[in-house]
Structure 1
Amino acid sequence: MKRLTLTFGGALLALAAGAACAQNFRIGLQEDPDILDPHRARTYVGRIVFTSLCDKLVDIDPKLHFVPQLATSWTFSPDNKVLTFKLRTDALFHDGSKFDAAAAKANLERAMTLPDSLRKGELRSIEKVEAPDPQTLVLTLKQPDATLLAQLSDRAGMMLSPKTFTDDVAAVGRKPVCSGPYKFVERVQNDRIVLEKFDKYYDAKDYAFQRVTFLPIPDTTVRLSNLRAGDLDMLERLNPSDAAQVKGDSSLQFAPVAGLGFQQFMFNIANGKRAEDNPFKDKRVRQAFQYAIDRDAINEVIGGGIFQPAQQPFPPASPYHSDKFPVTKRDVAKARALLKQAGLERVKAELMFGNNTTTSSVAEMVQAMASEAGFDLSLRPTEYAALQKESAGGNFQAVMLGWSGRVDPDGNIHAFVTCKGALNDAHYCNPEVDKLLNEARTVTDEARRRAIYDQAQAIIQDELPGVYTYYQPWPFALSRKVKGFTPYPDGMIRLKGVSLAQK
């Protein structure tokens, strides 16, 4: 009897372990996120984690329409200079404190004033924030801002518990306390981020998983192997070359969606000492580099046909995509001629890029193509969060960066090329570009706004602080057991209504 009891007990433990495993949804990420503080963060994978951790004032639907989240409704004044939100009354932060207008005000003011906040530029149009009652948030603007709702549907609109706002700014990112469907449990750098269901979330019944674990696995082959072995339930950014075998695997499902973002090469023009002797300071060298690369070949060889070549920051789905800037075709003779005009036979330079399978393949291909045109590129693979830090600090000559894209066109251009743009790691600066892009922020008429962007792009396409390579698709791969997942063009993973079918 004793042996039988032990066996029965072991069976119960095994069943319990299986049930626990079924409640833990595991997501394979291409990189490890940077700091988990939405006001200071900049990585795409960080935004994926935030989607489950931190609710925003506003969200989007699959067709990019703005929809309520922490705000139930919003209205602009007739002159478009006052934006009033009505807020939920049933939302709590993970520490049990109540979300209300005063909390929203504290968050926006922190995002606008924190010395190293990356949201300052996104909220620059706000003159003052008021909370006249717990349900009402009023933003008075310096001028009309056509971008503001889009900004508040992303990190600028994410809400943290104001109780965590102390002099120890870094503490927020070590243990973020938000108001989303899942709360923070632990983080092991470059290994895992674990979230746990927040039972007091207002829509908790629509979230099936007790735990969500994010696992950074830069090698796409390893990531896919883990999915096939059942150690992951889904992964983001499947290697395009693996799409065919995923489609042919009955245990998996392929869920791609056209994205809003892009990949680009950015050149260090004036950011610190490494810019001083950087050959890419000369725009003719930057132009030569563009003629050296073949975007179509990158799409066909590495992208599996889903890396649509890009010449501008606005994807074809955007109403601001312009036919005035067709994709530059490879022309080795023109590249060599431009280098000759710059007084150079060959150019020695370093290319930094994120250390994952896909970007490594692109970097190696570009290295080979550029060599034929007179460039001797040394390759510097770097873990992605470290790459962003190095890039912001000016420790690069040329860097390959991805951008996940934004609903509003301003989010794909302003921060990258304005003189004080938060993501302008090149330190490119042209006052006329600033003037045009700042003006575009105030114009709500689509045709007028598009014309302004065309003027700015004409300058940027000539001076070329960066070279766009392709528009970023979001190819997700999932276990066949996953039900109810809808891919969104912003590339975020929304788990509302998602479940795992039982065997």
Structure 2
Amino acid sequence: MKKNNQSLSRSVLVLTTAIVVLAGCASGTSQSGATEVEPEDTTKGGDLTYALASIPSNLDPARSGWAVESRVYKQIFEGLVTKLPDNTIVPELATDWDISDDGKTYTFTLREDVTFHDGTPLNAEAVQYSFDRILDPETQAGNAFSRLQPYESSEIIDEYTIELHLSTPSVPFIDNLTQANLSIVSPSAAEENGDQFGQNPVGTGPFEFVSLQENSNIKLKRYEDYDWGSDKYENKGPAYLDTLTFNIITEESTRIGSLQSSQVLAAEAIPPQNIEAFESDPSLNLLSQNIEGLPYTLFINPDHEPWGELEARQALQYGIDVDHIVETLYFGTYDRAWSAITPGLLGYDESLEESIEPDVEKAKELLEDIGWEEGSDGIRTRDGERLTLQYVDITPNREKRNDIAVMIQQQLKEIGIEVDIELTKDVATTIHTNGAYDLYGNSQVNGDPNALIQFYHSPAEGARDTLSKVNDPEVDQWLQDAVTEQDEDKRAELYKNVQQYIHNEAIILPIYVPNYTVGTQESVHDITFDYLGYPQFNDAYVQP
């Protein structure tokens, strides 16, 4: 058996993220690496209002699919283990764990002093319930279901000991357990609230749920009995903040104005055009950090003509000037993406950088080679059909993604492609149910390249298509082998194979590496961030 006592260190990947503290630093400068000078005679506490740029709709970890929801429910829930910025996996609700020699059984010993916010105890039964609930089709789990794989069942050994049984060995499994989707929920509350658990979440985290006003705010308060903080916090006991309120302010100018006027004390998604003003304002502090996982990526739908043809997809590669888009919209605050994963992950293929340069004439030639001739209005036709691309994006305009659509519309017109832009709030129906798109963008926060399997592995029989719609046995084999490969160098090569295939077959258009920026009033101290860039508030306080 492989034994872990209080920590399990892995160097599976190299992350550029680090815990950054927003406190006590020279105003108007990046806080990375800063050292806080603790105010004297200060009573830590206060009420923090934090503006979100998009709308959380479900605070149930098992059913949630959006990063903005994770930012909220990570304060309410905890997992068996967590991960530090140096990639060390350490206990959270577990105290230690064993991994069987065949890699298929994980035995966790749980803390015995933890209670859920509803007063019920954390025990092995709660862990079993949480994971089995994710597998239950009635839960309709999304990302959580993918990340829990290949979990099959569990066995309760005693009140505080549980065995998790996997169908196959999985190197990334322990890493996946650090992610918020696999948090442990209160069985009593989940059973009582059923489908409404996401509007009445109950966990073991430092903050407990108070209320949710749709499209307005989410209120949390300090969980007074909290006394089991993990090593990701300096403060292991109850949070300093009395309350934590997430205000939903999707309109950029309103959100920034609310922060500058102190209507909120912190706000996420500071737009690039406001960065310089923030840096020069002595009353504000600013944090900027790249987010690891899958970059913002445009997926091309090969099921729709002519995008099933390689030349048509390559024409998009050459016809879209991604550098111009990123530089124009983000003023150097976002990095251009080149591959299906971000640079910080294990196996990132640097050889793909600078591998494609925009070439309008090359794009035109590729389309002409497959019979698309330029029409009198400049739009190409073949067999009487106009070359039209259906570009679907979500509203509101998160990270200027709607603006990307407009710029691509203009660029593709130059090579004879007409682009229709559809903005929708109902992505599930438009994209996943109806598949009514030619181009659609998505990103994912993740600490391991195994995230690729959710997007590029052939779907199981009866499962919905992936966004990429890749269905290739060789790609499947690379991804499957990487799950069980213990040698990091070999595992990295397998992921490079996948990235090369995606690039060569023009499956996607990588656009940018997401960057999380947060502005705060100078009265806000010690907001920290986890290894994926999610905010943490157990150390935070407001100093009037």
TM bin (shorter chain): 0.7 to 0.9
Secondary structure of 1:391 counterpart: helix
Deviation at 1:466, TM superposition (A): 2.2
Secondary structure of 2:389 counterpart: strand
Is 1:387 aligned to residue 427 of structure 2? yes
Q: Structure 1 pair 151/267, CA: closer, same or farther in 2 (3 Å)?
A: same
Structure-2 residue corresponding to 1:287: 314
Structure-1 residue corresponding to 2:346: 319
1:171-214 Cα deviation digits (max 9, x unpaired) = 22231222212222222222222222222222574412222221
Deviation at 1:388, TM superposition (A): 4.7
Give 1:100-499 correspondences, 5 Å limit. 100-115=123-138, 116-118=140-142, 119-166=144-191, 169-202=194-227, 203=229, 205-261=237-293, 262-270=295-303, 275=304, 278-327=305-354, 328-345=356-373, 346=380, 347-354=387-394, 355-356=396-397, 358-383=400-425, 386-411=426-451, 413-420=452-459, 424-499=466-541
Deviation at 1:313, TM superposition (A): 2.4
Secondary structure of 1:54 counterpart: coil
Q: Structure 1 pair 425/317, CA: closer, same or farther in 2 (3 Å)?
A: closer
Distance in structure 1 (CA, Å) of the matches to 2:389 and 2:341: 28
Distance in structure 1 (CA, Å) of the matches to 2:315 and 2:401: 21
Distance in structure 1 (CA, Å) of the matches to 2:465 and 2:257: 34
Secondary structure of 1:264 counterpart: strand
Secondary structure of 1:257 counterpart: strand
1:379-402 Cα deviation digits (max 9, x unpaired) = 22234xx33553222353144434
Counting aligned pairs with the same residue, the percent is: 25
Distance in structure 2 (CA, Å) of the matches to 1:159 and 1:399: 36
Output the TM-score relative to the length of structure 2: 0.82
In the alignment, is the contact (CA less than 8 A) between 1:259 and 1:404 conserved in 2? no
1:417-450 Cα deviation digits (max 9, x unpaired) = 1122878234332232122111111112111111
In the alignment, is the contact (CA less than 8 A) between 2:348 and 2:496 conserved in 1? no
Structure-2 residue corresponding to 1:10: none
Q: Structure 1 pair 65/373, CA: closer, same or farther in 2 (3 Å)?
A: farther
Aligned amino acid, residue 153 of structure 2: K
1:65-101 Cα deviation digits (max 9, x unpaired) = 3222112222322332222222111211121111111
Structure with greater helix share of residues: 1
1:294-336 Cα deviation digits (max 9, x unpaired) = 2221222112213211121222222311133234221111221
Aligned length, in residue pairs? 472
Output the TM-score relative to the length of structure 1: 0.88
Aligned amino acid, residue 282 of structure 1: E
Q: Structure 1 pair 235/244, CA: closer, same or farther in 2 (3 Å)?
A: same
Distance in structure 1 (CA, Å) of the matches to 2:189 and 2:372: 55
Deviation at 1:284, TM superposition (A): 2.6
Q: Structure 1 pair 388/192, CA: closer, same or farther in 2 (3 Å)?
A: farther
Secondary structure of 1:425 counterpart: coil
Deviation at 1:365, TM superposition (A): 1.8
Secondary structure of 2:170 counterpart: coil
Aligned amino acid, residue 193 of structure 1: I
RMSD: 2.2
In the alignment, is the contact (CA less than 8 A) between 2:338 and 2:510 conserved in 1? yes
In the alignment, is the contact (CA less than 8 A) between 2:297 and 2:340 conserved in 1? no
Secondary structure of 2:414 counterpart: helix
Secondary structure of 1:324 counterpart: helix
Structure-1 residue corresponding to 2:49: 26
In the alignment, is the contact (CA less than 8 A) between 2:341 and 2:348 conserved in 1? yes
Range 113-122 or range 439-448, more displaced? 113-122
Distance in structure 1 (CA, Å) of the matches to 2:346 and 2:362: 32
Structure-2 residue corresponding to 1:5: none
In the alignment, is the contact (CA less than 8 A) between 2:172 and 2:483 conserved in 1? yes
In the alignment, is the contact (CA less than 8 A) between 1:404 and 1:491 conserved in 2? no
Structure-2 residue corresponding to 1:7: none
Structure-2 residue corresponding to 1:16: none
Candidates 69, 72, 79, aligned match of 2:95: 72
Distance in structure 2 (CA, Å) of the matches to 1:331 and 1:371: 14
Structure-2 residue corresponding to 1:11: none
Structure-1 residue corresponding to 2:112: 89
Question: Structure 1: any 5+ residue segments left out of the alignment?
Answer: 1-21
Structure-2 residue corresponding to 1:4: none
Distance in structure 1 (CA, Å) of the matches to 2:417 and 2:334: 24
Structure-1 residue corresponding to 2:15: none
In the alignment, is the contact (CA less than 8 A) between 1:391 and 1:399 conserved in 2? no
In the alignment, is the contact (CA less than 8 A) between 1:436 and 1:452 conserved in 2? yes
Secondary structure of 1:281 counterpart: coil
In the alignment, is the contact (CA less than 8 A) between 1:296 and 1:309 conserved in 2? yes
Deviation at 1:222, TM superposition (A): 1.8
Distance in structure 2 (CA, Å) of the matches to 1:479 and 1:122: 36
In the alignment, is the contact (CA less than 8 A) between 1:112 and 1:124 conserved in 2? no
Range 319-328 or range 49-58, more displaced? 319-328
Secondary structure of 1:351 counterpart: strand
Deviation at 1:500, TM superposition (A): 0.9
Distance in structure 2 (CA, Å) of the matches to 1:401 and 1:340: 27
Question: Structure 2: any 5+ residue segments left out of the alignment?
Answer: 1-44, 230-235, 374-379, 381-386
Range 480-489 or range 130-139, more displaced? 480-489
Aligned amino acid, residue 89 of structure 1: E
Deviation at 1:104, TM superposition (A): 0.4
Range 459-468 or range 34-43, more displaced? 459-468
Deviation at 1:254, TM superposition (A): 1.0
Distance in structure 2 (CA, Å) of the matches to 1:143 and 1:454: 23
Deviation at 1:228, TM superposition (A): 0.5
Deviation at 1:469, TM superposition (A): 0.8
Distance in structure 1 (CA, Å) of the matches to 2:403 and 2:345: 28
